[in-house]
Structure 1
Amino acid sequence: MLYIETWKRVLIILACAAGLLLAAPNLFYDRVETHNDAVKAIEARGATPELEADLAEWPSWLPSGLVNLGLDLRGGAHLLAEVQTGDVYAARMDALWPEVRDTLRAERDTIGTIRRQPSASDTLRIRISQPENMAQALDAVRALAQPIQTLSGVGESDIDVTASGDEIVVTLSDAEKLASDDRTVRQALEIIRRRIDEAGTREPTIQRQGSDRILIQVPGVGSAAELKEIIGTTAQLTFSRVINRTTDPDTRAGTGNKLVPALDEEGTYYVIESAPVVTGEDLVDAQPAFDQNGSPAVNFRFNPHGARRFGEYTALNIGSPFAIVLDDEVISAPVIQSHIPGGSGIITGNFTVEESTDLAVLLRAGALPAELTFLEERTIGPELGQDSIEAGKIATMVAFAAVLVFMFLSYGMFGIFANIALIINVGLIFGLLSMIGATLTLPGIAGIVLTVGMAVDANVLVFERIREELKTAKGPSRAIQLGYEKALSAILDANITTFITAVILFAIGSGPVRGFSITLGLGIITSVFTAIFVTRLMIVMWFERRRPKTLEV
């Protein structure tokens, strides 16, 4: 019997209404975007009259999700960066030196005095005064080796320890270098993502390319230079022991130390230990604040590991200066007045409010583990993006109009039902894209255009099946029912195989390919829903009111 239960009718109508309501903000894109930006700004900085006016651009009780526009539609910045993974080796050797030094000091009775020697960035050389006991020294240093925690490095240690005359030579193993390179790029990728998100940009594309490169595309950013300012700062924060303060830029720092300038004291330099006491990697939080004199500053807090080391150091060095170093510049060198437990403190300096806020953002996002070299940078203007949007609109409208005309001429009244379902289908696609916060690109528009053409396939199968059933002298009601029942398997087979293709494209593709697969996959889901449920509901409701004796399909 041709009948749909009331609860099913209600669910179908509610689903369509919800999808169209979610899609509606895209019809007022600029107003809703202004409203959304004002909401974020008020949450971050508080309300102002200008922000309140922007907030009133769109009613707060209505949905405000938008389909984000990709770089090719909105304009923005494109960067291709190379991570200088070799920088990490030198930092690793500097961090290893205190452990090696303390280990060898425990063997001083047999190996004599120890002294670090100048060496390549990825090598640590230590001279001992009694090389006849070199074997014991090598065993002591080899005990510091750690197993590599990667599948490719199973069974191997992270350092190689050898002897060269009266020197102990420590290098990173080949397996550890591979693992370190991978960790460095992964860490840089995540930190770039966090920095760009902190800056409030919309839907960036940040992907790894090859072994040591990162692709960064951010819609809505004014230029590539602006994007580089957001992500280009290394923000290597360290807390280091001060050896000496000087005004002579040619001062010899000595082995294991380095000479760095003071940020706010021109002509002043500090000799500090290369191996920091605590690094920015131990930071849990950093927030802009004001010091006791009302000057802008930054509050910081360490994790338990950093808090313990920071507390131990301050307890043993009361009265000594302590350098807070950002990117090899001393931004502050306060004297330790007392033991600082709990792992929290404040960074002071000649900051403006804006500078303290920017510094807090960089510290919260974390330190880039290595320098980035920008191999390619492009700025795509919004005018080009607007041209792409207009071209996409024309393509979609032409395809839409052609399908509507074809369906009406081919199937009459039933074609009108299919056309209404097609309009609802496109609305549902945009509703789903808005709900999940997807980014629409030119290939994504191509996916929608393709969906418009494919969306009526299921209706064509059903209508042709109804025609076949009418030829067997069955009544209109029975013909419609059998048409839907017998066409269902063909509809599902055709769409499931296409959906699997869309899933594969999404899984192994990137950038534009993913944009195409998302709109294609969502379009398949909505077109099957509208064909099986929405069109059928309209036909049933029409049939119940008209009760025709014959059908013209």
Structure 2
Amino acid sequence: MQFSPIRTVIIVLVTLLGVLFAVPSFLPKAALDAWPSWLPKQTIVLGLDLQGGSHLLLEVNREGIVTERLGDLRRDARSILANDNGIGNIITTNAATNSLDIELTDPTQKDEAKTAIEGLQNTISSSLFAASGVEELAFGETPDGKLTISLTDAGITERMSSLVAQSIEVIRKRIDELGTTEPLIQRQGTNRVLVQVPGFGDSVRLKDIISRTARLTFHMVYPGMTAAQAEAQGLPSGTEILDSNDGGKELVYEDVALGGESLVDAQPSFDSQRGIPVVSFRFDTRGAITFGEITSANVGQRFAIVLDNQVITAPVIQQAITGGTGQISGNFTTASANDLAVLLRAGALPASLDIVEERTVSAGLGADSIRAGVLAGIIGAIAVVTFMVIAYGLFGVFADLAVIVNVGLILGALSMLGATLTLPGIAGIVLTIGMAVDANVLIYERIREELAAGRSKISAIEAGFQRAMGTILDANITTLIAAVVLFYLGSGPVQGFAVTLALGIVTTLFTAYMVTLFIVGRWYNWRRPKTLAIQFVRLIPMAQKFHSWPSVGMQSPSRS
């Protein structure tokens, strides 16, 4: 009953901090802008169900992964056979069986070729804790003597799962570049990604930003032959035809001269000479050296900048570029140049993503949810407050004051932590109100029992708080464990409920014991009552009396 100054300061300080962090969420924007800079300005982040926004469900494109992987294997196999071992070969892709057929110009080199291509075997794993990986490739031979390299089903599935984890990180970087707060980005199953961005209503732009692969590569344009001539006469070895941004086609070398992974920055800018929006980029040290070597050795040749297998521009190299910087020009608007810069800064997606589900939640639906949730909270709070006053009189008022502090601390904690408040989160706050007074009920009933046992008023109050605390801790810790499990294993709304429930448990333990005891102690030292009236209506004896009433028309069965 005697509070030390340090204990008093802790209670007052925690309560004030909770209020200070909670208040900005209830202020209009003009008042918040005028809020002193030394006070907290962070507000509670509302979830998708409360403030509206965009919802996308993305799926990794299996066909695209297989096609791209076969293309990489084809280049690697040709390089390791022809360049490293001097083995002539013709490689064709068999899309129906997800395999490559290798025809050797000299059949006597078959054993040497087998040994060489088996070095391409790759063991992949989508989990850091996996005991062993999955072999991605299977090697064989056709009846007519061709060697084959096939992608295994297990390898494709494992690669897809691994690429989902990489895609999540790239998507997160892209959305962070848009300046949005608290996006929800998480895996669903082995090949899907769920993206929810509260407060971002332009789903078309979001879809374009997220789903574009944005793989930037640099290729030398094949000299002396156009794409139309190559289509008519046949592709030269090691070349491919790509669509161009201007509606035409370009014949380029398959080998990537320089990859976009060497980019360290990309910014939208404006070309003052041509008066058009462009994207300026900068390479890292290694990329700058490679870029300088390529441009030095190919002055007068065309150099294609390719984004997602489409040629954006293919200018002629006028002179060596050794500074490690350059520009990408095309039919850009200011907005599209900015979006391309965002994509390049965030990095390329490791795989193509298809839109499986798309929803836009309007802010009006969120406002209705907020009103319904707040109304439910107010009704629940009034009912709890009324019950406590009826049941415990003045001590019920003390408990109600602690509950008000409790709700303020929850809102302040949500604001301070930047956690997202969802509609189930509001339900968690309402549930916390009931749990908070439940702790006070245990304390007050214990005080009543101590008084009935003949203890003094001060001794009964102290014993009531101390002895009931063990039961309160047991009940709340078990609930806290359930909240933690819900947070880590649940998703979306379930996590929102778990956050407010866990915060409510922590604040309940603080307010039910510290704050309520502080109020009771200050009241007792001020009033020095001769008796303690713990309740107006003794509900438990009434319930016991009700259950003891004899039943009507019921007889016990006779025994033989």
Given that 2:93 and 2:99 are in contact with CA atoms closer than 8 Å, whether structure 1 keeps it comes out as no
Match of 2:210 in 1: 231
Mapped partners of 1:167, 1:189: distance in 2: 40
**1:160 partner amino acid:** A
1:189 alignment counterpart:
168
Of residues 502, 525, 544, the one that matches 1:521 is: 502
Give the conservation status (yes or no) of the 8 Å contact 2:125–2:133: no
Conservation of the 8 A alpha-carbon contact between 2:217 and 2:260: yes
Mapped contact 2:265–2:283 kept (Cα < 8 A): yes
Q: Structure 2 unaligned segments of length 5 or more: list them.
A: 535-560
| Residue equivalent to 1:411 | 392
Name 1:540's counterpart in structure 2: 521
2:80 corresponds to 1:80: no
The alpha-carbon deviation at position 318 of structure 1 amounts to 3.6
Q: Relative to 1, partners in 2 of residues 1:393 and 1:258: Cα closer, same or farther, differing over 3 Å?
A: same
Match of 1:13 in 2: 12
Provide closer, same or farther for how the CA distance between residues 340 and 183 of structure 1 changes in structure 2, counting only shifts above 3 A: farther
Structure 1 counterpart of 2:141, which letter?
Answer: A
The letter for the 1-side match of 2:435 is M
Pairing of 1:165-176 with structure 2 (within 5 A): 165-176=144-155
Gaps of 5+ in 1: 36-55
Pairwise CA RMSD? 2.6
Please say if 1:212 is aligned against 2:212: no
Q: Which amino acid aligns with 2:437?
A: V
> How far did 1:7 drift?
0.7
For normalisation by structure 2, the TM-score amounts to: 0.86
Aligned 1:333-348 pairs, distance under 5 A = 333-340=314-321, 343-348=324-329
Q: What amino acid maps onto 1:382 in structure 2?
A: A
Task: Classify the secondary structure of the residue corresponding to 2:94.
Answer: coil
Residue in structure 2 matched with residue 133 of structure 1 by the alignment: 109
Measured against aligned partners, the alpha-carbon deviations of 1:279-322 in whole angstroms (never above 9, x if no partner) come to: 33343322223457375332323456655654554454343221
* Residue 225 (structure 1) shift: 3.1
Q: What residue is the counterpart of 2:252 in the other structure? A: 272
Distance 2:444 2:190 in 1: 53
Q: Per-residue displacement from partner, 1:367-425 (whole Å, max 9, x unpaired)?
A: 22333222222222222211111110110001111111111122222211111111110
1:297 corresponds to: 278
Whether the 8 Å CA contact 1:68–1:439 is kept in 2: the answer is: yes
- CA deviations 1:433-457 (Å, max 9, x no partner) are 1111111111111111111111111
Alignment partners' CA distance in 2, 1:530 and 1:521: 14
Deviation per residue, 1:347-378 (Å, 9 max, x gap): 23353433322110011122223332222222
Rounded Cα–Cα distance in structure 2 between residues aligned with 1:173 and 1:398:
60
Matches within 5 A, 1:29-428: 30-31=29-30, 56=33, 58-106=35-83, 111=87, 113-120=88-95, 122-148=98-124, 154=132, 157-164=135-142, 165-222=144-201, 224-244=203-223, 246=226, 248=228, 253-254=235-236, 256-263=238-245, 265-266=246-247, 268-291=248-271, 293=273, 295-303=276-284, 306-307=287-288, 309-340=290-321, 343-428=324-409
Of the candidates 495, 501, 506, which is equivalent to residue 476 of structure 2?
A: 495
CA 1:344–1:95 in 2, change beyond 3 Å: closer, same or farther? Answer: farther
C-alpha distance in 2 between matches for 1:57 and 1:115:
73
Tell me the matched-pair count. Answer: 526
Aligned to 2:23: 24
Q: Secondary structure at the match of 1:258?
A: strand
Query: How far apart are the structure 1 equivalents of 2:520 and 2:372?
Result: 35
Contact 2:19 2:409 in 1 (8 A): yes
Mark the CA change 1:507 to 1:156 in structure 2 (over 3 Å): closer, same or farther.
closer
User: What corresponds to 2:551 in structure 1?
Assistant: none
Partners in 1 of 2:124 and 2:8 — Cα distance?
A: 60
Deviation at 1:115, TM superposition (A): 2.9
AA in 1 matched with 2:10: L
Q: TM-score, normalised by structure 1?
A: 0.88
Letter in 2 for 1:518: V
The structure with the largest alpha-carbon Rg is 2
Per the alignment, residue 548 of structure 2 pairs with none
- SS in structure 2 at match of 1:190: helix
Relative to structure 1, is the Cα distance of residues 153 and 550 closer, same or farther in structure 2, using a 3 angstrom cutoff? closer
User: Which whole-Å deviations, capped at 9, do the CAs of 1:93-122 have from their partners, x for residues lacking one?
Assistant: 33344433332225666x4x3233343284
| Aligned counterparts of 1:190 and 1:73: Cα–Cα separation in 2 | 26
| AA matched with 1:439 | T
User: Partner of 1:456: helix, strand, or coil?
Assistant: helix
User: What secondary structure sits across from 2:222 in the alignment?
Assistant: strand
- Helix, strand or coil at the partner of 2:27: helix
Bigger mean CA offset, 503-512 vs 180-189: 180-189
Give the superposition deviation at 1:533.
0.5
> Which residue identity does 2:345 align to in structure 1?
R
Amino acid at match of 1:381: S
Contact 1:412 1:552 in 2 (8 A): yes
